[in-house]
Amino acid sequence: MGLADLHLHTIYSYDGTATVPAVLRRAKSIGLNVIAITDHDEIAGALEAEKLASHYGVEVIPGSEITTAEGDLLALFIHEKIKPGLSLIETLLRIKDQGGIAIAAHPMAGGMGMKSLTPASILRALKHPIARTALIGIETYNGTAIDRISNHATALFANGLKIAHVGNSDAHIIDTIGFGATEFPGTTAADLLKALHEHTTRVHKLNEWSAFRVISSWGFRYIESAFARLTMVRA
């Protein structure tokens, strides 16, 4: 079985704290086979990671966490930025145009400014003849969600859907990478994609911190990474 974390942030996200090489090293060290870099409304970090991946022994799926008008959406296997603020269905159509797929990120979750899709929005998208072919997964476990109840609510909601269930960390700091992950038959990104389409993925929970520890650790790492973020902006 392979292990993937498909929701990771780097310093290319406004709230990220880890450099791309640091994320790749950490992913390899904890045994992840596949990762997706999904910075907020950005693709540059994912493209950098894709270029460096072979040097670290982990496979990278380029992606982005897109702020749709209805909530956050993970776009995977894309290589160009997609405009934020569009409807969920329009965003899914643009992901489809790039040959990508999408996963609903932390549905129903609140707190810390999270913008989450509602069940109604997801159901509308799954009824659309084209959009539903792009929306093939739902994040039923978010390893660093402040709103823990949303994980349980999403898992219950997703049980009635013909859609892949995935676990992710949504890591904004190096320490929490892999806290939530997805098990799949095989070890490659191609194997993972097949498993997502066939709904054979399983949620893997590695660790869980209290909301206080998640927030305080992020604050420390954010201050610690200030120089790296400022240097990146100037580049």
pLDDT means per 10 residues in the chain (235 residues)?
Answer: 97 96 98 98 97 96 98 98 98 98 93 86 97 97 92 93 96 97 98 98 95 94 90 60
Sheet containing strand 164-168, edge to edge, reads 164-168, 135-142, 101-104, 71-76, 59-68, 34-37, 2-8, 180-184, 202-205
In the chain the domains, ranked by start, together with CATH numbers, are: 2-234 (3.20.20.140)
What is the Cα–Cα distance from 140 to 78, expressed in whole angstroms? Answer: 22
Angle between helices 226-234 and 211-224 (to 10 degrees): 50
Q: How much is the pLDDT for 193?
A: 98
Q: pLDDT value at position 234?
A: 43
